[in-house]
Amino acid sequence: MVSSLFINPFSEDAREIVRNYGSPDTIFEASSALLETVKRTRGQNLDDNSLLPGSIGELAIKRLEWYLRRQRRGFDHGDYAYLMNPDIEEYDVIAFYVLAQAAGAGFRGGSREVRLVVESTGALVEDRFRVLGSERDEIIEEVLIELGSEGTRWMELSELIGSGKLRLTDLILHRGRVVIDEDEFLVTFQDRITDRDPRSLYEALVGLELKETMISRIIMQRTEDYIARVAEMSSTVEPHPLILETAERIGETVNEVTPFRGGQVKTAGPGKLVPDAFPPCIRGTLDGVKSGNRNDAIVLLLTSFISYARLYPSVFRDRTPLKVSDLDPDLRVIREEILPIIYEAAERCEPPLFEDDPQEKLNITAKLGFGVHDEPEPEHEGESKWYTPMSCEKIKIHLPDLCRPDELCRRITNPLTYYNRKRWELHKGKSEQEGED
Partner 1 sequence: MFEAATPLERKRYYREEWDVRKLPDFIARNIHMREFGFDHTGRGPSDRYRVFDDEKRLSRFMRARFPFAAYSSVAFYREPGKRRGWQRSELIFDVDAKDLPVRSCDCEGVCERCLDEARELVLMMVDTLRGDLGLGDVHVVYSGRGYHIRVLDPGVMELGSEVRAEILRYTAGARQPRRKFTHSGESYEMEHFSIPLGYHRVFIERARHVFLHMRGDERIENVTARTVRDVVRNRELLLEDRWGEFKRRIGPRVYQRLVAGVAGINMKMVDAKVTIDLKRILRLPTSLHSKVSMICMEVKNPETFDPLKSAVPKFVHERE
- Angstrom CA distances, 64 to 53, 103, 224, 278, 397, stand at 12, 11, 15, 37, 36
Considering the complex, state which of residue 194 and residue 235 has its C-beta at the smaller distance from partner 1. Answer: 194
175 near partner 1, judged by CB under 8 A:
yes
When asked if residue 40 is in the footprint of partner 1 (CB under 8 A), the reply is no
Under rule CB under 8 A, residue 187 binds partner 1: no
CB of 147 vs partner 1, minimal distance in Å: 20
- With CB under 8 A as the rule, give the number of residues binding partner 1: 39
Contact flag: residue 354 with partner 1 (CB under 8 A):
no
Closest approach, Cβ 299 to partner 1, in A, equals 14
- Interface positions, 412-431, toward partner 1 (CB under 8 A): none
Q: Exposed, middle or buried by CB within 10 Å (0-12, 13-18, 19+), for 200?
A: exposed
Q: With binding defined as CB under 8 A, does residue 162 bind partner 1? A: yes
Is residue 385 involved in binding partner 1 (CB under 8 A)?
Answer: no
Could you say whether residue 373 binds partner 1 (CB under 8 A)? no
| Stretch (H or E) spanning 14 | helix 12-21
Nearest CA among 139, 68, 117 for reference residue 228: 117
Distance between CA atoms of residues 376 and 342, nearest Å: 14
Neighbouring residues of 293: CB distance < 8 A, sequence distance ≥ 6: 399, 401, 402
- Candidates 174, 229, 335, 428; binder of partner 1 (CB under 8 A) is 174
Site membership for partner 1, residue 410 (CB under 8 A): yes
Q: Is 200 in the site for partner 1 (CB under 8 A)?
A: yes
* Cβ proximity to partner 1, 23 vs 194, nearer residue: 194
Residue 235 DSSP one-character state = T
Q: Which residue number, 12 or 195, has a Cβ lying nearer to partner 1?
A: 195
- The verdict on 164 binding partner 1 (CB under 8 A) reads yes
- b/e map 260-285, b = 16+ CB within 10 Å: eebeebeebeeeebeeebbbbbbebb
In angstroms, what CA-CA distances link 270 with 310, 338, 347, 356? 9, 10, 21, 30
Binding site for partner 1 (CB under 8 A): 153-155, 158, 161-164, 167-177, 189, 192-196, 200-201, 203-205, 207, 209, 394, 396-398, 400, 405, 410
